[in-house]
Amino acid sequence: MKRGICLLLFISLIIACIPVNCSASQSEPQEKRIALTFDDGPHPRQTRQILDVLDKYGIKATFFVIGVNVRNYPGIIAEVQARGHELANHTTTHSHAKKLDSIALKNEIEACDQAIFEQTGKHSKLFRPPEGAMTESMRTVVKQLGYTSVFWTLDTRDWAHTPPDRISDYIIQNAKNGDIILMHDYIGANSPTVAALEGFLPILLEKGYTFVTAGELLSNSHQ
């Protein structure tokens, strides 16, 4: 009887000393990457305010710029570049792309690219059509020019002057890995964008999200 008890104790000690590998039963932590994008800028005041908030939280973003605004506010473009953010093409005049024929759309894209290049010395191959409107003929033009079209998965509706707290709540409740958030740095008076950023950025960072540029996010998804 004593031998049996001793044998059981011995076996129990051996089992207790064997390291348990739980990796098979537990999935690896999911990567949580999000791209923050801003359309229609640059704006002489709002863009700089957004840049300050992004700096505060150590976040890099993508700015889909309008060619005429690039030419009107070259100093702001220089700041966007100097602070390490990504610049991308949003046409030259923000004309509704569906109303443009192939030649006009090509001119809109190329003129915006030229404006960006003149200010930064760099070309961008990311394109977002105004209002996200895209037809098959437009896709053909964009592809021929060597661009990648970038849309979004979360629309903050800051352009509609949605209250900042509603924007923040929406993003916090719906954000997930791989999302592209749509915001604007050229809205007009009483823009809710900066206040909304202050609302949701620290929460998402606390939840373990990493903010990357649209280019980085898309590059990672294609690997």
How far apart CA 200 and CA 216 sit, in angstroms, is 21
Is the omega angle on the peptide bond into residue 192 within 30 degrees of 0, that is, cis?
no
Say whether 39 is catalytic.
Answer: yes
- Between strands 148-149 and 126-127, the pairing is parallel
Say whether 184 is catalytic.
Answer: yes
169: its two tokens: 């709540």
CB 124 within 8 A of CB 89: yes
The residue to which tokens 């010395």 are assigned? 121
Closest CA to 75 of 107, 41, 109, 39: 41
198: its two tokens: 């202050």
Active-site residue, from 90, 179, 184, 185: 184
How far apart CA 188 and CA 66 sit, in angstroms, is 15
The residue to which tokens 């206040």 are assigned? 195
Active-site residue, from 39, 113, 179, 185: 39
158: its two tokens: 């800051």
How far apart CA 96 and CA 129 sit, in angstroms, is 8
Alpha-carbon torsion angle 132, 134, 140, 141, nearest 10: -60
Residues recognised as catalytic: 39, 184
